[in-house]
């Protein structure tokens, strides 16, 4: 990182602007100016050519976005970092689409700020040597779509709650999303989403010979959350004699048709689960803090990590399905022998859905669980975290040095939205 990078601060609130400037100056950054959302902003940007522009994202939002775009035009080389109280994914998305490189939450603290600036200005080689792998999985199929298979060693740990809410959060973020229920034992996505579907996964597999990209969507039911659902059949016996190769073909067609395919599974290694795990770009493996669940999960993580030949696809995830537990998250991580990617907080309404079947992330979006799942969707999609992370924090989302263009964050979601 070059020493003393030049920074321009844009914030309509003089007090907050002064506070951010003070923070920067005390940390030996060079502040080339501080302005509001007015025409001075692009003028200063074009005159002083700052390497980084920090901009407050707040009401009036149209003015904030206009200022951001004007500065981007005036100083296209600058990395724009927005800071805001607004943690919802739509706000993050608007700011990123308007041209910001990163998004941090307010009140601005020096740690987040300098981390973001350092990442923006890190030379390519330094960035490649970064300590953490990117959370967002690189698309394996070259088509910028991702299969997310939610799995666990034990039942009742929140797989369906996570799958349904994660799919809804991805759809809400503008990512065309399919949700597939491969739980051959308790396939209850349809019940959780209050859908009465006409067709199921089994129908799609049966019709595999006539199935292609043009008609695969007709097997899915559109849900009010925006998610397209391919549910399990009503009877567990309906799954009998399902050909795994045809099941893989169905998932392949879906991944060509949708930008994200979220798969719910049973807590057992059936042929179909193996197919879904092999197809996965990311597999959150859930455990509660129940000692038996943690004990059962450790060998499964090991097995998956070695058999999928890609440890970073297998993501240990702790779900607090109880308000208290004898085990701590740190103890669990130690027993699992792996860094925990995500932690989902306890919420007594976790399984809640409204009359239309819209899940928690949509109808109770401000709860901690909703925010964590929204944050998880954002990290999977390659967006910066919209909210302070729940400990232990997931790895930061980092664009690969080879792909990164100044001022542009090549997140998967950005590509998905624009594709
Ligand atoms: N974070 C959470 N907080 C509280 N209860 C939860 C949480 N996640 C899931 N649950 C509850 O745990 C139970 C099992 O969840 P479910 O998604 O059906 O598990 P699985 O699909 O793994 O069998 C449900 O009653 C659900 O509401
Ligand atoms: Mg389930």
Does 347 sit in the ligand 1 pocket, CB within 6 Å? yes
- Name the residue of 351, 367, 373, 374 to mutate for ligand 1: max ligand atoms within 8 A of Cβ: 351
The Å distance, Cα 373 to ligand 1 centre, comes to 13
Tell me the per-residue pLDDT of 344-360, one tens digit each, with 9 for 90 and over: 999 999 999 999 999 99
Which region among 119-123, 188-192, 360-364, 371-375 has the lowest average model confidence (pLDDT)?
119-123
pTM: 0.64
More confident site: 128 or 179: 179
- For residues 260 and 291, the answer to whether their CB atoms sit within 8 Å is no
Answer whether residue 415 shows pLDDT above 60. no
Does 242 sit in the ligand 1 pocket, CB within 6 Å? no
Q: How far is CA 97 from the centre of its chain?
A: 16
- For residues 316 and 301, the answer to whether their CB atoms sit within 8 Å is yes
Tell me the per-residue pLDDT of 139-173, one tens digit each, with 9 for 90 and over: 444 446 889 999 999 999 999 999 999 999 999 98
- Name the residue of 161, 167, 344, 375 to mutate for ligand 1: max ligand atoms within 8 A of Cβ: 161
Tell me the per-residue pLDDT of 246-265, one tens digit each, with 9 for 90 and over: 999 999 999 989 999 999 99
Answer whether residue 387 shows pLDDT above 60. no
Does 155 sit in the ligand 1 pocket, CB within 6 Å? yes
Q: Which residues contact 277 (CB under 8 A, 6 or more apart)?
A: 149, 151, 283, 304, 308
DSSP character string of 106-127: SSP-HHHHHHHHHHHH--HHHH
The Å distance, Cα 150 to ligand 2 centre, comes to 10
Tell me the per-residue pLDDT of 392-410, one tens digit each, with 9 for 90 and over: 333 333 333 333 333 333 3
The Å distance, Cα 72 to ligand 1 centre, comes to 44
More confident site: 311 or 64: 64
357 by Cβ neighbours in 10 Å (0-12 / 13-18 / 19+) ranks as buried
How many angstroms separate the CA atoms of 92 and 102, rounded?
A: 9
Q: What is the pLDDT of residue 119?
A: 76
The Å distance, Cα 253 to ligand 2 centre, comes to 24
pLDDT band for position 272 (cuts 50, 70, 90): confident
Domains and CATH numbers, the chain: 6-121 (3.40.50.2300), 146-381 (3.40.50.300)
- Tokens describing residue 10: 């844009």
Does 373 sit in the ligand 1 pocket, CB within 6 Å? no
Does 319 sit in the ligand 1 pocket, CB within 6 Å? yes
Does 116 sit in the ligand 1 pocket, CB within 6 Å? no
């Amino acid at each position: 990182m070059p020493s003393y990078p030049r920074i321009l601060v844009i914030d309509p609130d003089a007090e907050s602007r002064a506070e951010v400037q003070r923070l920067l100056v005390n940390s030996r950054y060079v502040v080339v100016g501080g302005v509001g959302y007015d025409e001075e902003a692009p003028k200063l940007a074009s005159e002083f050519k700052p390497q980084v522009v920090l901009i407050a994202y707040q009401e009036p939002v149209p003015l904030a976005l206009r200022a951001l775009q004007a500065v981007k035009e005036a100083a296209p080389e600058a990395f724009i970092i927005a800071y805001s109280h607004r943690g919802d994914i739509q706000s993050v998305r608007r700011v990123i689409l308007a041209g910001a490189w990163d998004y941090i939450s307010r009140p601005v603290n020096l740690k987040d700020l300098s981390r973001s600036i350092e990442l923006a200005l890190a030379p390519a080689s330094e960035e490649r040597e970064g300590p953490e792998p990117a959370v967002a999985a690189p698309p394996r199929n070259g088509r910028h779509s991702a299969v997310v298979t939610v799995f666990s060693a034990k039942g009742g740990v929140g797989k369906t709650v996570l799958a349904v809410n994660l799919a809804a959060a991805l759809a809400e973020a503008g990512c065309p999303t399919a949700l597939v229920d491969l739980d051959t034992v308790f396939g209850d996505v349809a019940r959780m989403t209050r859908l009465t579907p006409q067709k199921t996964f089994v129908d799609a597999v049966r019709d595999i010979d006539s199935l292609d990209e043009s008609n695969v969507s007709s097997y899915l039911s559109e849900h009010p959350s925006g998610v397209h659902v391919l549910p399990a059949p009503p009877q567990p016996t309906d799954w009998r004699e399902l050909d795994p190769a045809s099941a893989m073909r169905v998932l392949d067609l879906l991944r060509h048709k949708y930008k994200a395919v979220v798969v719910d599974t049973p807590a057992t290694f059936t042929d179909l689960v193996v197919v879904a795990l092999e197809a996965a770009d990311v597999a959150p493996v859930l455990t509660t803090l129940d000692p038996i669940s943690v004990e059962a999960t450790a060998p499964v993580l090991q097995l998956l990590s070695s058999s999928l030949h890609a440890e970073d696809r297998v993501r240990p995830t702790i779900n607090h399905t109880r308000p208290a537990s004898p085990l701590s998250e740190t103890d669990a991580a130690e027993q699992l022998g792996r860094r925990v990617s995500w932690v989902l907080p306890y919420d007594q309404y976790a399984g809640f859905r409204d009359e239309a079947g819209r899940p928690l992330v949509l109808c109770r979006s401000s709860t901690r669980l909703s925010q964590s799942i929204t944050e998880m969707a954002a990290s999977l999609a390659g967006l910066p975290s919209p909210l302070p992370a729940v400990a232990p924090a997931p790895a930061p989302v980092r664009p690969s040095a080879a792909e990164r263009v100044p001022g542009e964050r090549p997140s998967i979601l950005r590509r998905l939205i624009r594709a």
